[in-house]
Amino acid sequence: MTNDLPQGPAEWDALHPYASLTPDQVLDALADIGLMGDGRLTALSSYENRVYQIQLETERAPTQTDGTPVPDSVVAKFYRPSRWTDAQIQEEHDFAAELVAAEVPVVPPLNLLGHTLHHKAFESALTKDASEGYAFQGFSFSVSERRGGRPPELDDDEVLEWIGRFLARIHTVGAAKPFHNRPALSIDTFMQEPKDWLLNHKAIPMEVERAWQDAWQQAMDVMHAAGLGSAHGSDWPHFQMLRLHGDCHPGNILWTPADLPGGGPHFVDLDDARMGPAVQDLWMLLSGDRKQRAGQLSMLLEGYEQVRDFDRRELALIEPLRTLRLVHYSAWLARRWDDPIFPINFPWFGTPDYWRGQVQMLEEQIEQMQEQLLVV
């Protein structure tokens, strides 16, 4: 990295808000809403937020607002400060509640003391406001039931068809009304703004910056030529915008054996829920060569269209959406570099070789966006 972000653990500890979130403080936050941990706490692999699995004392037998018992094992999510407003988080929670009411297998936050979103202030907590300064104190958090499962077998046609049906059910609920506070998936927020941030913060090594900018511009030109982007008045003209899961990759689908009660897929982590075209929730489940991706997409749509119509014109958005995610991902890593968990888990990020690889992937995406669509 070539910018002015903290360069070592001493600076991270002094600056980053998550440095103040100790196990004792996590347990204190849960105790404030009536959940008493028995001391067993495990940090789960989450980078954007801090997420913990916590075993509760069984003799206390806490209940949710509606009188339903709280499970013995829960997952507490402490949201990254300043990423979402309370209104945006609550809109995510309300969407999850709508999905549960429609019998869609998602894992919603528990309603405790009349709320799904809670707040905890710590004297030692430093959080970062939108102006880049660490100023105010405390965290927003939610608690959900711990659910087990494994990633789905995406080479199994029956599994893909099953997931397709549930995605259609998510989108049926999602199409009923829009988000009012959460943002939309857009070329501006996933392509233009990340590029501007990376260049303004000198996050790309000088020897690669020009090549990356040229590849980025070529990719943007291809999207504009296809009628996408704000130059045409709408990022996704002619396509329906609806509430999406937003980050529907295999890691956010937990699968349990079909012969068990409630077996099959259940969806987790609506943290990236936003408005966008339906295909956004399908394309991240595709992998392999072109023939394999076409086969997977065919089975997903086989299930999807048993429940809800799918606009086949949206298939033209798959490669542009993949390009947006590629650019956004690099900016996401760069923006989080002051969080010590990122340099530890992504040590390869920010090197000239990393950015040369990004140039190559952008060039490949430019070719992909100009190829024939997947035929299903």
The pLDDT value given to residue 348: 95
At the second CATH level, the architecture of 9-145 is: 2-Layer Sandwich (3.30)
The pLDDT value given to residue 2: 46
Instruction: Answer for the pair 212, 359: CB distance below 8 angstroms, yes or no.
Output: yes
Integer CA distances (angstroms), 117 to 56, 156, 217, 255, 373, in order: 19, 37, 41, 27, 42
Token pair for residue 246?
A: 């937003």
- Residue ranges of the chain with per-residue pLDDT less than 50: 2-14, 124-127, 129-136, 232-233
Predicted TM-score (pTM) of the model is 0.90
Q: Give the tens place of pLDDT for each residue, 99-158.
A: 999 999 999 999 999 999 999 876 544 445 444 444 446 899 999 999 888 888 999 999
Is it true that 9-145 and 157-370 share their CATH fold? no
The pLDDT value given to residue 372: 82
The pLDDT value given to residue 227: 86
The pLDDT value given to residue 101: 96
For 157-370, CATH number?
Answer: 1.10.510.10
Active-site residues, by number, are: 247, 269
Buried b (16+ CB within 10 A) or exposed e, 277-313: bbbbbbbbbbeeeeeebebbbbbbbebbeebbebeee
Domain ranges of the chain: 9-145, 157-370
